[in-house]
Chain A
């Protein structure tokens, strides 16, 4: 049995990210290629962060999901290049993140030199990151490193709630 690759993509779209289960691994943009090599299905996956501990769980979940669909010969390969970027998050994924309470990445806020951090210090807050709870942009960064490598910790100065920000990389 060799299901078409677009069918396999649809199955992969049902595999949740283990850390943020409201989005799928295809929403996250980490599945880079799906192709048949003879009767072996090859799925190429890129890590979000080099040391992301979810990587091995994601591979296991992919294998479990595809075996349940009857795929017998399967190889999961790591692809490093081009490196994963938060730009690959689909528009739907951004809305799902916001609804889940995680502010989606704002383009242009990646660490690049330390210009952004200096600009933020000067204005005493951040430039564009809206609270996913109340929508206020009157927010402040508590730490660039949050509960997982891909998130920063923020706090809303209006509704006072802390929240995660899915940072740009």
Chain B
């Protein structure tokens, strides 16, 4: 296996893998906050299942990040023992859940990026990246199908649900641009054939988003501004609260196991 691995800057590769894993970890945690609180039982179960898929994918991404890093850490150490500044998720996934429609819209905006990203990673020059992507893409296809359907149902629903979905879209829109911004680590991944240029995914993302929002009778915001920082560890205040919750057990009882 080692013979086939591409020549790549290790720090940039770890950065990329950490970004993938932190996106799924933080979104998975956010979605799991709904467990027991969703508006109907079927949606509670669907949210929990989605969170489970994302946390499972996190184990693969952060597991590989730890392996490539080669510093004796594992996926659990990366998830539970890093502080906020070391997290590399985009700001979108740490946004608060808001109401159910807000959570679903955040999920849709993420899924519409996640699916084409994974499809591109299936062709990664690194077989370990390709096999994680090939596994995750099947699950994420179901995530996008569901979040897209619900955006349409709620957007093109009652006056109340429509207004809430439009408000959620207006609130979240300025956090989507970060998904497509590239830095030196991304450029190193492109050069090594490991991952696509983030900007190359924007057209297909926008096409999916436009189609669904149109059917949902929602208005695409005109803003082209984007908040950024998460990819390089500069986070909103929300991440600290997420970590305080998520990491409590390992911080209070170091090394605790089931």
Are A81 and B131 interface neighbours, CB within 8 A?
A: yes
- CB of A149 within 8 Å of the partner chain: yes
- CB of A20 within 8 Å of the partner chain: no
- CB of B56 within 8 Å of the partner chain: yes
Are A142 and B42 interface neighbours, CB within 8 A?
A: yes
Within residues 75 to 113 of chain A, which ones have a CB less than 8 A from any CB in chain B?
80-85, 110-113
- CB of A10 within 8 Å of the partner chain: no
CA of A49 to CA of B135, assembled, Å: 8
- CB of A64 within 8 Å of the partner chain: no
Residues of B within 8 A of A82 (CB): 134
- CB of A8 within 8 Å of the partner chain: no
- CB of B174 within 8 Å of the partner chain: no
Are A117 and B149 interface neighbours, CB within 8 A?
A: yes
- CB of A5 within 8 Å of the partner chain: no
**Residue in B56, B60, B135, B144 whose beta carbon sits within 8 Å of that of A114 in the complex:** B144
CA of A5 to CA of B231, assembled, Å: 48
Decide if the interface of chain A is mainly helix, strand, loop or mixed. Answer: loop
Are B45 and A143 interface neighbours, CB within 8 A?
A: yes
**Residue in A113, A148, A169 whose beta carbon sits within 8 Å of that of B139 in the complex:** A169
**Residue in A47, A50, A53, A110 whose beta carbon sits within 8 Å of that of B141 in the complex:** A110
The 8 A CB mask of A49-84 against B (1 = contact, 0 = none) is 111110000000000000000000000000011111
CA of A52 to CA of B56, assembled, Å: 7
**Considering only CB atoms, which chain A residue lies closest to B137 in the complex?**
A83
The 8 A CB mask of B16-54 against A (1 = contact, 0 = none) is 000000000000000000000000001101100111111
B17 nearest CB across to chain A (Å): 15
Are B134 and A50 interface neighbours, CB within 8 A?
A: no
- Residue total for B at the interface (Cβ-Cβ under 8 A): 31
**Residue in B50, B52, B142 whose beta carbon sits within 8 Å of that of A111 in the complex:** B142
Residues of A within 8 A of B139 (CB): 49-50, 149, 169
Residues of B within 8 A of A136 (CB): none
A69 nearest CB across to chain B (Å): 27
CA of A116 to CA of B49, assembled, Å: 20
Are A83 and B131 interface neighbours, CB within 8 A?
A: yes
- CB of A25 within 8 Å of the partner chain: no
CA of A169 to CA of B136, assembled, Å: 11
Are B60 and A144 interface neighbours, CB within 8 A?
A: no
> Contacts A143-B42, A145-B45, A149-B52; is A50 near B135 (CB within 8 Å)?
yes
B4 nearest CB across to chain A (Å): 13
Residues of B within 8 A of A125 (CB): none
CA of A46 to CA of B250, assembled, Å: 28
- CB of A31 within 8 Å of the partner chain: no
**Considering only CB atoms, which chain A residue lies closest to B128 in the complex?**
A80
Residues of B within 8 A of A143 (CB): 42-43, 45-46
Within residues 127 to 160 of chain A, which ones have a CB less than 8 A from any CB in chain B?
142-149, 153
- CB of B7 within 8 Å of the partner chain: no
**Residue in B53, B141, B146 whose beta carbon sits within 8 Å of that of A49 in the complex:** B53
Are A51 and B131 interface neighbours, CB within 8 A?
A: no
Residues of A within 8 A of B45 (CB): 143, 145-147, 153
CA of A23 to CA of B43, assembled, Å: 28
8 residue pairs A–B, Cβ–Cβ below 8 Å: A50-B56, A84-B135, A114-B148, A116-B145, A117-B148, A143-B42, A143-B43, A143-B46
Partner-A contacts on B (CB < 8 A): 42-43, 45-46, 49-57, 59-60, 127, 130-132, 134-136, 138-139, 141-142, 144-146, 148-149
Partner-B contacts on A (CB < 8 A): 47, 49-53, 80-85, 110-114, 116-117, 142-149, 153, 167, 169
